[in-house]
Amino acid sequence: GDRCQDIHLDDLLTARRPIIGDNVNLLVVRDSSIDEAAHKSEEMAMRIIPRMLNNVQKGLRKLQEMGFTHAVIATDHGFMLNMDVGAGTTCEYPEGEWTKKTMRCVLGRGTPDSANAVLARTSLGITGEFEHLATPRAFTSYRADKGYFHEGISLQENLLPRMVVTLAAPAAAARSTMEITA
């Protein structure tokens, strides 16, 4: 409670001096702008990514000024962003009985084919009321209108990037002395 606090990136950037408790040594700074934009349109995501990278840099500088010495930049999921959604970027569901369908995987029971890998739930270490997980073998989805997805089992969707940044201590204001002689 008193050693950990949560703040949105916009609140960190817009406040002159964000209200952070004196005992806080773990500050979680969140933002979901890229994910929210990408769910609306791939083009919107591409426009917001450079701005978000700039905001992360500004946030790191602000944290440094506040006396934080380390920052961890992480994500809660990976994703695929394909700007060229068109012919050949979709896949048909594999034959079977699928009880749960997302853009990149289905759960139920079925058989693999040339376009889909079908994996036993037990071999993946997943618990549930289904036998198989199926996913396209290529970077395609089961829906034609979307080029942003994160429901599959590709490395891009499951390896979560993390950066650890060591923040230098803010430069101390140099003391100057003045001598007046007459």
CB 68 within 8 A of CB 5: no
Q: What is residue 5's predicted lDDT score, i.e. its pLDDT? A: 92
In this prediction, residue 150 carries a pLDDT of 79
**Residue 87 has what pLDDT?**
65
Higher-pLDDT residue of 24 and 76 is 24
pLDDT for the residue numbered 162: 87
| 154: phi then psi, degrees, rounded to nearest 5 | -70, 160
Give the pLDDT confidence of 26-65 residue by residue, as tens digits: 999 999 998 888 888 888 888 999 999 999 999 999 999 9
Query: From start to end of 15-174, where are the E strands?
Result: 26-30, 70-74, 80-81, 96-101, 106-110, 116-120, 132-136, 148-149, 162-166
**Distance from CA of residue 146 to its chain's centroid?**
18
For the chain, give the longest Cα–Cα distance.
97
Q: What pLDDT is attached to residue 89?
A: 73
**Cβ partners under 8 Å of residue 6, min gap 6:** 27, 28, 30
Q: In 3-state terms, what secondary structure has residue 124?
A: helix
Give the pLDDT of residue 79: 81
